[in-house]
Structure 1
Amino acid sequence: MSQTINDVSYPVILLVGKTGAGKSTLGNMLLKQPHDDGHFQVSADMESVTQECSTAIISIDGITYNIIDTPGIFDTQLVTDKILEEIAKTIKKCKYGIKAILFVFEAKRFSAEQRGVLEGIRNFFGEGATNYIIAIFSHATKAQIYDRDIMRKAWNKPVCSFIEDIENRWGISPNSDYFPPDDPTHQARLGEIKAFISSMRGVYTTEQLEESLQEQEEARRQKEEEEERKKQEHEEKLKEIARKEAEEAHKRKVEQIERERKAKQEYEENLKRKQQQEAEEKHRQMVEKMKQEERERKIQEENLRKKQQQEEEERYRRKLEQMRQEKEREEELRRQREREWELKRQREKEEELRRQRAREEELKKQREREENLRREREKQEQQRLQEMYRRQREEAERERVRMMEELQREQERQRRLQEERRREEERRHHHHDGCFSLDTKVQLSSGKFIEMAKLQVGDCICSNVKNGEKEFSEVYLISHLGHFDHSLSMTKIEFTRSDGQKGQIRTTPSHCIFHEDLSILYAKDVVPGVTKILVLNETNELVPVVVDNLITEGDTGYISFYTRAGTVIANNVLCSCYDDCPQSQTLMDLVFAPIRLWTKVFPSNHRQKDLHPYVKILEIAYHDWRNASKISNYPIVILFIIIIILFFTFF
């Protein structure tokens, strides 16, 4: 059912696009009419059939619309402005507004002309119309119509941008040659377009068009004003160019006059230079003539001078010749005198040679006599030397025998000395390796009694008693501790305390204990029933006690340690910490002063079977010195110990 353009009673669906894009075909298909023989007339060529807007009634989802087909924009028979004016008149008659603007363009490519059409539509309808535009792709391939994704992949960047601007509202105009009207694909594509139309909210009104037209009019007015302004500026530029050309012509005329003046001036200067050059040429010729005359005069003078010089040279040559002849005569006389002198000298030489031969004969005879005499003397000297050599050899043999005897005696002495050293070393190894037995007890500063085997460096043990008070001293060094593989000789001292209790202490034979007069003596030197040792009683006093018995026992355990006081009360007996040493407590305290100072700064952690290096050095030095010197008097030993102390103290 068709209506005239004046009879628009429903919201409008507007078909716009380029000539030949397929607007009328799409309109017929939406009306469910043959695409090429429907309400809207379809052109078979590129000339627009739709010269004026035509309308028809269409119902979508139960809602009635007017669908209007517009002339093709950029039609070859109508001016675009007239087409837009026709479209504007039609829209103004749409009192119910425009529901959708279907912009139809070919799917083959989005050309610059199509972009121009799109921009023209946007400018014509205004930005508000963008919300109502639906892009419809026509002339699509069969695959593009069948699958929207294939169509989407064929878009270029401008198409994508355009689709995004219209919020992804686009459809495909089906081709009845590929898909007949009853084909599901045909119906699906038209259904998508109708769905977009139904989903549109609101309508594009005539008021919006009026605003857009006013904006376009204002833009056109501004454009005309801008063109007028540019025209005036162009005229001003032309006037400025004319003024500059006039000034340039005047300037060229002035420059021409100036060039003529300069040319005249140059001509006058050239004329003046020419006259000056002619004058200079005349002067030059005159000077050249004078120079020529001067050269000729000089040549004459030179010839005269050469002639005089030749005459002078001739005179000089004759004089030289005369002098040469005189010199030759003198040379002849000289040679004659030399020949005479040579003859005389030859005769003298022969005479001298004769006399020399006579002297040589005499000397030869004299040398023969001296040679005979020398041989005789040498023979006698040789006999004397042979006799002396024989006596020296006999003396050397006697000396060798004597030295061999002395060497044997020295070797025997060294052997005995080594044997003594070996025995002494064995004696020290077997008898002086320890000090106390491991089960000997001492009292700690806490009052607890422990066996010496449990002693540690840093323990404070009872070392002396003064004025009834026990004194405790720190153990600063354990020189050696352990068990021997062999049995160690120990001296057991038995005694009876003042309260009647029996007591005993076991040490090595050479360990030092205190006598009742506070002197020290070796344990092996104790005499039972005679020697008194100092023993601690129950009232904390050191009292002299007579030794009951002295027994030699075997043991493998041993310990040797040193307190800072140099003494220790072991098994209630006052003992020295020193063993196998000079019997002087003061001297030994002095000897151990360096190690006491050293352990103050660097505490010792030595707790091994082997003897501490410091103690070992002292012991070896002491025994070697005593063996080497073969003396036992203490002053020399004391001197040696003092030297060792000074060495360790300072170095």
Structure 2
Amino acid sequence: MTQTDNNSQIIKTPLVVDNSANESIADDSTINISVTGTRYPVIVLLGHTSSGKSTLGNWLLGNHGYGGPFENDSSSGPGPVTTQCQPASIKINDRIFDLIDTPGVFDTDADIRSEETLEKIADLIYHCSYGVQAIIFVVDITQRQPFKNTMKIIQGFLGEAALDHMIVAFTHTTKDQTERDQILNLTREMKELLSSVNNRWFISPNPDIFREDSDVVIKNMVKAKLMIDEFQSAYTTATFNKVRDAEDKRAEALRVARYSCFKLDTKVLLENKKVVPMSSVRVGDRVCCGAINGKLKFSEVYLIAHYNSESMTEFLKVEFTTPDGIKSSLLLTPEHHIFINNNFDYAKNICPYSSKIQVLIGTQLVQVQVENVSTEYHKGYIAIFTRAGTIMADNILCSCYAMCPPYQNVIHSLLYPLQIFSVFKKLTNYEEGKIHPYLEFLKNRYENINGLFSKTRLLIK
């Protein structure tokens, strides 16, 4: 339907003219409905505040952009217009849909309002008994909004399936752009936006230029309605629930991962040459923590800092190939510290083909390029503290620490009191899922200081 000319940066779609459909535009009825219970599949208008959602809704209903049932004040300037979800019914090719105009969504200058709006959108979707037929994302062509960030929010909130029901409507186009049905010099972000929705787009005419009985308006609305009608199935509440459930699990996994470290079956080398899973390691064991001049280093485990066998946890799978051609990997949490490019850093900062990790080959530490990083979810996690502050996990040099900034020596120094205490009194494993009181104290102090710095930065701004 849509063709892109990369050389001239023109996107042009042939106009669709259907006289029978044109007649149906004029006959489309406007019937107020309750958002608490829709009667038909829903068409949702989404977009930034003042992007022209209400105007488009009025056009679709066969009215003038400023003269329909949806709130719209052309004299009020670019300020917010729609503050509540507004419904009306629309008929397209003998099918009836509920058309919903929404408040401005994804406004980057009002995070709290955006959260409230997302809750309203969620509530709307939950009440769409017959699903969402189409999501029309309204884009003001004159504004350079962060479309990439907006699409991430949409995908994160509604899921990838929502993109299969999405259409882009460009507003505030010039008379020439609207009549020619083409837009010159699209930005890369706009092209990516169109690509993500399979190049489904149309122009919503400027009501300051065109009347509702204009051929241009009629043709563009026919084009929009044909795209809406082409969707074979609706985005359902069941789909939305799956997305939200998955996101809730991911959020919980991330919360847990902040204080966790390695997968339970991560292998370590004991001083007696046995290779065992971390879940089998006990306080007092001596595990490999590195190598110097071809000689392995071992360090005593003085604390099992954190352990859980049931919580679903998010891990990063770091994949690489050793110099002798063996494919291998390590799973650790995103906030854990690992030796990357000769410095300790968060695992989440590993970049395939640019990050190098230290891998134990025999008795030598060798730099190996990371080939891939992916996300996996597994039950359980474990954090082991050695007196050296490092550990060879699945033959990869890692820190014992996580969460706070990866300043290895600073963290290690802060743990000296705990190390000294453990010399006189053996530290036993604490209740599953709990962390040592001293670590809890350090964690709380770090979070308090970090929060204070964040507030200070806001005050400075």
- If the length of structure 2 is used for normalisation, what is the TM-score? 0.49
Instruction: Name whichever structure is richer in helix by fraction.
Output: 1
| TM score, norm. by length of structure 1 | 0.35
Give the structure, 1 or 2, with the largest relative contact order (CA under 8 Å, sep 6 or more).
2
Q: Which has the higher strand share?
A: 2
